[in-house]
Amino acid sequence: MKLAATTTDHLTVHTAPVADPGDLVAHLPGPQALAWIRHGQGIIGWGEAARITLPGGTDRFTTADRLLRDLFAGADVHDPLRLPGTGPVAFGTFGFTPDSPGTTLIVPRRVLGRRDGTAWITTIGDDPGPLDLLRPPAPPGPLTWTDGAHTAATWQDAVATAVTRIRAGHLGKVVLARDLHATATAPIDPRVLLRRLADRFPGCYTFACDGLVGATPELLVRRTGGTVESLVLAGTAPAGDPDRARALRTSAKDHHEHAYAIEMVRQALTPLCDDLHIPAAPEILTLPNVLHLASPVRGHLAAHHSVLDVVAALHPTPAVGGTPTPTALDLIADLENMDRGRYAAPVGWIDARGDGEWGIALRCAELDGDRARLFAGCGIVADSRPADELAEAHNKFRAMRYALEG
């Protein structure tokens, strides 16, 4: 474990109720932003009391959970509210594969939160001081766009190859992603992206952690005490036309893709839960740019498992990998020509009680100074057509292009 240079191993944590802070994003004092917000509720953080970085590995989730438990167990915590997200909290991101870089958990020195009408601030160390901005965010300016690992044409070739493998019976589904690069004239401030994403996609989970910024529609897991919830998304159509929603409801291809994702979630959560409810049929989730088939899942944990225990059981879902998972991951490695990094991997937060919310890092970008790397992926099945999948990927890029360009 690696601790921030200004912090000792012993954390002194104070949570106190505060008046409604209003817009959470507006209180972030600098570009090193941490955030998890939906419909104006959630938590933001800044400063570093501790940082855990891991090289990856198949045990990265359990290792991170153990290191956090050890850190929080030694903390002196004053938390009269004891709500999910109060007390010490770690924001985190993980790499998509065991070999992918980016597994990081950050315990901020300040957390400002709002949940169900209650607002609070958590402080580790000295008095938090005023919540006013220290450095106002500035838009990134003009952007230059370049292809990532694939051009549009070569990515369509990869989709065609995947369809051939699927039709030959090698696998049932694979999710292929592509990346896109943007270069600005100045460092990109994630607070600008958070502001635009939270305003345009209020129903998504707008997040920022260690340079990864996005607005994901997909809740991987929420743990509140013994209850776990997940939102399974698979099957996509462009938004804006009622005929497309009707077509999505009756699309055999999209329902087939959704069924793969639901079955995997069932298999992953059944050993952890003594009660599990999965809807008989998916509903339509409408976002400003796309429609999804969606199934909300709810269960009760059979024993004490932290939210990271559930994350470990669920990742990667067929919605971001494919099925069967090992075969799909091998094909992704063969065809994508890139390391996904933290794209399509878990991102979220966990508190000292093991509660938390984790999403799948979709509709996101990795920021590095004046550069941004965007991602979009599509579920490929036997009936997929490369041109249609390319159009779907373009639609999925639109969220982050809007966040960067305004």
Between 269 and 319, name the one with better pLDDT: 269
Position 5 scores a pLDDT of 37
Quickly state the pLDDT bin for 195 (edges 50, 70, 90): very high
Residue percentage of the chain with pLDDT more than 70: 96
Do the domain assignments include residue 2? no
Least Cα distance to 29 among 135, 130, 109 occurs for: 135
Rg of the chain on CA atoms, in Å:
20
pLDDT digits (tens, 9 = 90+) for 37-77: 999 999 999 999 999 999 999 999 999 999 999 999 999 99
Do the domain assignments include residue 68? yes
Position 131 scores a pLDDT of 53
Do the domain assignments include residue 124? yes
Position 216 scores a pLDDT of 95
What is the rounded average pLDDT of the residues 223-236?
A: 91
Residue 199 has pLDDT above 70, yes or no: yes
Provide the number of structural domains found in the chain. 1
Q: Is the pTM of this model over 0.75?
A: yes
Residue 329 has pLDDT above 90, yes or no: yes
Cα separations (Å) of 63 from 67, 69, 305, 309, 340? 6, 10, 14, 10, 21
| Mean per-residue pLDDT over the chain, rounded | 92
Query: Residue 232 in contact with residue 261, Cβ under 8 Å?
Result: yes
Do the domain assignments include residue 335? yes
Residue 313 has pLDDT above 60, yes or no: yes
Q: What is the CATH number of the domain that holds 360?
A: 3.60.120.10
Length reported for the chain:
406
Between 7 and 289, name the one with better pLDDT: 289
Quickly state the pLDDT bin for 133 (edges 50, 70, 90): low
Residue percentage of the chain with pLDDT more than 90: 80
Residue 4 has pLDDT above 50, yes or no: no
Do the domain assignments include residue 136? no
Residue 3 has pLDDT above 60, yes or no: no
Residue 242 has pLDDT above 90, yes or no: no
Do the domain assignments include residue 3? no
Do the domain assignments include residue 369? yes
Catalytic residue ranges = 173, 218
What is the rounded average pLDDT of the residues 176-181?
A: 98
Quickly state the pLDDT bin for 264 (edges 50, 70, 90): confident
pLDDT digits (tens, 9 = 90+) for 107-126: 999 999 999 999 999 999 87
Do the domain assignments include residue 356? yes
Residue 10 has pLDDT above 70, yes or no: yes
Quickly state the pLDDT bin for 256 (edges 50, 70, 90): confident
Position 224 scores a pLDDT of 96
Position 69 scores a pLDDT of 95
Which structural domain, as residue segments, surrounds residue 190?
A: 12-128+141-405
